[in-house]
Amino acid sequence: MKSTDICIRGAGIVGRALALLLSRERLRVALVERPVSPAGEATARADVRAYALNGTSRALLESLRCWPDLAAATPVLRMEVQGDRGGALAFGAAEQQVEALGWIVDVPALERRLDDAIDYQPLIERVTTSTPARLSVVCEGRASETRLALGVDYVTTAYPHTAIATRLHGSVPHGGVARQWFSCGEILAFLPLDGPQGNSVAVVWSVEHARVPRLVALSPEEFAKELEIASHQSMGSLTLSADRVAWPLQRSMASRWIGQTDGRSWALAGDAAHAMHPLAGQGLNVGLADAAELARVLGGREYWREPGDLRLLRRYERARQGAVMTMTTTTDILQQLFAREGAVWEGLRNWGLTGVDQLAPLKGWLARQAMGPR
């Protein structure tokens, strides 16, 4: 391969999407993947999660020809949020005059689509160690070793909750409804899978750390029973269809997103730059927006600028840092509002949910924020 323009470290969804976007700008990319040992290959498990993606992410992935089929990208036709003292809020796609409020995308299906597209792109080379390049983009996720080696602070606040993710079949179809229940700081989400007629859901249950060992040690049947109770049997009787995987939750923001170390330029993107609570389903949407902006800035650069030009990279940092901070803070405020104990807070949040439900303009604005610009 000729000299590399950009080295992308980390081949998660953000790293893979960025590689495709940059190759579209005729830049030569080395994509650094973690080497998989033969033993690791045998035990590697598919991600049990499914992501809520907004219209902007969909448009980006469609432009890369990586949007999964209908069965793996289920449209959300309605969203129902239940508070812990009778408060409730519901959004409908028809009421918002949109085709869908968002899409629940199967993670392994999306990863396969990205891999297939990369296989057909001659400007992307898959490598297992980093390659000298005009610019390195770090997409290694929250626990990035490269970010650490660069000496960048990753300012982190740990939430007192862990998310347990799994999948379920219900005896009642989901009807394209995404459901969320808030209860004393804990949040349970059922995200519809397998297309509009499906009866499977991806589950994200954010519970206090202390409850996790007991919940993951329960038999699949016992765990499903706990979820039937927590979900008020909205999908009838439940059967677990995947492993349970736990993620401790945190809010993080890198102090710097771009820089030059030993004369080499670097930039951070995706979870390597920021992490947020999954309650609003925004982490990957925000990471894909980073990738889109970086590709736009690099693709549109003046002809005399190198891709590692710091002035150029500052445009990317300026464009993304503020937007991500707003999203991280909004998610954090929501988390705090639902975690506070005491009758006053309980009353306030439940009154707030029902109040918003009755205020059409505010509700419309909230729905548009969640759906992303169209």
Span interacting with ligand FAD, options 47-55, 305-313, 320-328, 341-349, rule CB under 6 A = 47-55
Inter-CA distances, 335 with 16, 183, 239, Å = 30, 11, 29
Stretch that binds ligand FAD, among 9-17, 86-94, 297-305, 334-342 (CB under 6 A): 9-17
Does position 9 interact with ligand FAD (CB under 6 A)? The reply is yes
According to DSSP, residue 124 is labeled: E
Among 6, 8, 15, 181, binds ligand FAD (CB under 6 A): 15
Rule CB under 6 A: which of 145-174 touch ligand FAD?
145, 163, 165
Closer residue to ligand FAD, CB minimum distance, 294 or 346: 294
Q: Which is nearer to ligand FAD, 57 or 350 (CB)?
A: 57
Tell me whether residue 17 is exposed, middle or buried, using C-beta atoms within 10 angstroms of its C-beta: 0 to 12, 13 to 18, 19 or more. Answer: buried
Among residues 20, 30, 48, 49, the one that binds ligand FAD under rule CB under 6 A: 49
Side-chain-side CA neighbours of residue 53 (13 Å): 28
Torsion of CA 159, 160, 166, 172, to 10 degrees: -100
HSE of 186 in the Cβ direction (CA atoms, 13 Å)? 17
Between CA 188 and CA 164 the distance in angstroms is 9
By CB under 6 A, is residue 48 in contact with ligand FAD?
no
Pick the binder of ligand FAD from 5, 106, 111, 140 (CB under 6 A). 140
Binding mask 277-316 for ligand FAD (x = CB under 6 A): -x--xxxxx-x-----------------------------
DSSP state of 69: P
If binding is defined by CB under 6 A, does position 372 make contact with ligand FAD?
no
Exactly one of 25, 208, 247, 296 binds ligand FAD (CB under 6 A); that residue is 247
From the list 5-13, 169-177, 221-229, 359-367, the region that binds ligand FAD by CB under 6 A is 5-13
Q: By CB under 6 A, tell whether 93 contacts ligand FAD.
A: no
What is the Cβ-side half-sphere exposure of residue 247, based on CA atoms within 13 angstroms?
Answer: 19
Using the rule CB under 6 A, is 203 a contact of ligand FAD? no
Distance CA 219, CA 45 (A): 20
Answer whether 125's CB lies under 8 Å from 25's CB: no
The letter for the amino acid at 217 is A
CB atoms near residue 56 (< 10 Å):
16
Report the nearest approach of ligand FAD to the CB of residue 278 (Å).
4
Residue entry with tokens 């693709």: 299
Residues that bind ligand FAD (CB under 6 A): 9-15, 32, 34, 49, 51-52, 139-141, 144-145, 163, 165, 204, 247, 270-271, 278, 281-285, 287
